[in-house]
Amino acid sequence: MTIDLKTVKKISKLARISVDDEKAKKLESDLNSIFKFIEKLNQLDTSKTEPLTSVVDANLQLRKDEVKSQNIRDQILKNSPDENKDFFVVPKVVE
C-alpha cells in the first residue's frame, strides 16, 4: 500500500506537527520507501502468535501509594516556557 500526500497531511495533524507542501512531498517519498521495507513482515504467518509487549517476565512491582515529594511547585514550573511562575500558561482556549 502507498501513503499519499493526503495521508501525510492527516498524520501530521494527528502528530501535531505542521508540515508545508515541500516537506510533505519529501515525507511522502521517505515514508513510502520505509513502509515498503516494513511490508516484508507480511511474509510471516503470525495468526497463532501472541504479541510481545514486554521482554520482562516479572509482574510489575506494587508499592504503597504515599506522597514522597512535597512543595516542589517551583521545581516543576522552573522550565516552563512562559514567564508566569505560578501556573503553566497556554494561549486562550475559551472565548
Partner 1 sequence: MSNILDFTLVELVERIKKKDLSSKEVTKTYIERSKKSKKLNTYITEDFESALKKADNFDSKPDFDKKLPGIPIAVKDLFCTKNIRTTAGSKILENFVPTYESTVTNNIWNEGAILLGKLNCDEFAMGSSNETSFFGNVQSPVGEKLVPGGSSGGSASALAAKLTPSTIGTDTGGSIRQPASFTGIVGLKPTYGSCSRYGIVAFASSLDQAGPMTRDVKDCALLFSVISSYDSKDSTSINFKRDDYFKKLDKSIKGKKIGIPKEYRVDGMPKEIEDLWQKGINIAKDAGAEIVDVSLPNTNYALPTYYIVAPAEASSNLARYDGVKYGFRSEGKNLIDMYEKTRSEGFGNEVKRRIMIGTYVLSSGYYDAYYLKAQKVRRLIKNDFDEVYKKVDAILTPSTPSSAFKIGEKTNDPLSMYLNDIFTVPINLAGLPAISIPAGHDQKGYPLGLQIIGKAFDEQNILNIAYSLEQEIKFKNKMNDWWL
Residue 70 near partner 1 by CB under 8 A: no
In the complex, minimum distance from the CB of residue 29 to partner 1, in angstroms, rounded to a whole number:
10
CA distance 25 to 9: 10
Q: Which of 23, 31, 25, 38 is nearest to 2 (CA)?
A: 31
Residue 67 near partner 1 by CB under 8 A: no
In the complex, minimum distance from the CB of residue 38 to partner 1, in angstroms, rounded to a whole number:
4
- Contact partners, residue 88, CB within 8 Å, separation at least 6: 77, 80, 82
CA distance 67 to 70: 7
**Residues in the site for partner 1, rule: CB under 8 A?**
3, 7-8, 11-12, 14-19, 27, 30-31, 33-34, 37-44, 46, 49-56, 58, 60-61, 63, 72, 75-76, 78-82, 88, 90-93
